[in-house]
Structure 1
Amino acid sequence: MLHTEFMLSGIALTARPTGALWWQEAAILCVADLHLGKAERLARRGGTLLPPYETAETLARLATEIEALSPRTVICLGDSFDDPESARQLDEEARRSLAGLMAGRRWIWVAGNHDPNLPDIGGSHMEEVLRGPLTFRHIARPRDGMGEVSGHYHPKISVQTRAGQVTRPCFVQDGQRAILPAFGAYTGGLSCTDPALQGLFGPEAVCILTGRATATVPLKSRATA
């Protein structure tokens, strides 16, 4: 199976191989940590020079998901831009692409630690989004996990396969909360063995690996990242 379905607080959700989360009943597509404009931000601040293609690549991948699923609502779970200036510095092609993706649907930018105050780029700007039993926010709250969907940590995990060890971004979920992988092209990741992630989940938590197809492994396993 290319994707993995799971239940979160009684809601059926789908973890997509791209790292996007799909709530079919509500027609909501959710993505985390796009980090649009990261190459531009690094260059602006005198950091590592990266090829300036990550924004176009990320938007193209998002466009493919939108074309496949036709969501009524898209929720971007914070750190959609690498900083507020990155949103202002979007080139015309990226602006046109983004405007096309937003057209005809509700688009919600959840505030992240990288982009707490975005300029007016269309869509709605919110601290968090409540839909039925689910709460969409940027950073998980340890004591408020029931029905929580968040991003921020960019979880990844390494597993041993017949071809050798592979490392992939992943979802982490335990039926009560879910953390999404980063959707952006130029994003690192935090090992699922890190205490910051391990401490957020119950003993039944699993990691859902992304890639050509999803695969599921226990969070508390011998896998290392």
Structure 2
Amino acid sequence: MTAFAFTFAGQPLLALPTGALFWPDRRLLVVSDLHFGKSARLARRGGVLLPPYETRATLDRLAADIANTQPEQVICLGDSFDDLAAAEDITAEDHARLTGLMAGRDWFWVEGNHDPGPLTLTGRQLPQMQLGPLIFRHIAAEGGEAEISGHYHPKARLAGRAAPCFLLSNPQRMILPAYGAYTGGMDCADPALAALMGPGALAILTGRVARAIPYPYAGSRSSRPRSSSLPR
């Protein structure tokens, strides 16, 4: 599997083609906006009926990323469940699968706007966290620190195809794509994202192929960083 290698706040990071972020020096895997239980939440509220397989599909993706990176720590950057009822109603099979992935790792649940309350799972829940120079939170905030967040589900379009993407504005801000199987997205040129990122930002596309494709954000004149194979 290939990944997109870049440096953020002086730290070498890898954007994986699945939408996860890996910090090799810390053996840390970061995912955002899993939205487990979205189909059940929509059905519960009389919305569109979707096949109830998104939790399984997202867990499959997460299991593959964990197998490939062997992280010692995992951060879920909020909206891990589509609402609190989804956290309570997770099936026994999916609960066992998730707890198996968590076993032997330091696991952190950053609170999101969909799941602000306590979870019935192990791991540590907190509003945000800091590791070294990096702040991890669900929604981007004003401030001078280097932050990594989610929430906006950014997508970018290249050659007529839209794909979830990382948004990167060195040295201050990075926004991860949504990791969940049934999540929608916001165009990276949307004014809300443009205001957060500013000119010179990059969108790093994800996709089915095993590489992340750099894509210049509106106004960017930056050179394209290199791609890199994921270290084993």
Please say whether Structure 1 and Structure 2 have the same fold, judged by a TM-score greater than 0.5: yes
Amino acid at match of 2:177: P
Q: How does 1:77-116 map to 2 (within 5 A)?
A: 77-116=77-116
Tell me the TM-score normalised to structure 1 length: 0.94
Pair 1:103–1:216, CA change in 2 (3 A): same
Superposition map of 1:63-82 within 5 A: 63-82=63-82
Query: What's 1:57 paired with?
Result: 57
Q: 2:191 aligns with which of 188, 191, 195?
A: 195
Which of 182, 202, 216 is 2:214 aligned to? 216
Task: State the distance in 1 between where 2:219 and 2:10 align.
Answer: 26
Query: Partner letter of residue 110 of structure 1?
Result: V
In structure 2, relative to structure 1, the CA distance for the partners of 1:218 and 1:145 (3 Å cut) is farther
The range that moved more, 117-126 or 213-222, is 213-222
Q: Does 1:149 align with 2:144?
A: no
Shift, 1:221, TM fit: 5.1
CA contact 1:145–1:177 (8 Å) conserved in 2: no
Task: Tell me if 1:179 matches 2:178.
Answer: no
Q: Offset of 1:203 from its aligned partner?
A: 2.2
Give the share of equivalent positions with the same residue, in percent.
Answer: 52
Q: What amino acid is the match of 1:123? A: G
Q: Deviations over 1:110-143 (max 9, x none)?
A: 00000000332111101001000000000001x2
Deviates most, 21-30 or 113-122: 113-122
Contact 1:9 1:146 in 2 (8 A): no
| CA–CA separation in structure 1 for the residues paired with 2:198 and 2:169 | 6
Distance 2:108 2:61 in 1: 18
Question: In the alignment, does 2:24 pair up with 1:9?
Answer: no
Structure 1 SS opposite 2:196:
coil
1: CA distance, partners of 2:215 / 2:76: 26
Distance 1:80 1:50 in 2: 18
- In structure 2, the residue matched to 1:119 is 119
Map of 1:25-36 to 2, 5 A cutoff? 25-36=25-36
1:36–1:184 contact (8 Å) kept in structure 2: yes
Cα distance in 2 for partners of 1:221, 1:168 equals: 19
Distance in 1, Cα, partners of 2:69 & 2:119? 28
Give every structure 1 segment of 4 or more consecutive aligned residues whose post-TM-superposition deviation is greater than 4 Å: none
Query: Offset of 1:6 from its aligned partner?
Result: 1.1
**Equivalent residue of 1:216, what SS?**
strand
Aligned partner of 1:45 in structure 2 is 45
TM-score between the two structures when normalised by the length of structure 2 = 0.91
Aligned residue for 1:159? 158
Which one is further off, 68-77 or 145-154? 145-154
Question: Take 2:101 and 2:59, find their aligned partners in 1: how far apart are those partners?
Answer: 9
Partner SS for 1:200: helix
Structure 2 residues not aligned, in runs of 5+: 221-232
Find the aligned partners of 1:129 and 1:24 in 2 and give their Cα distance. Answer: 18
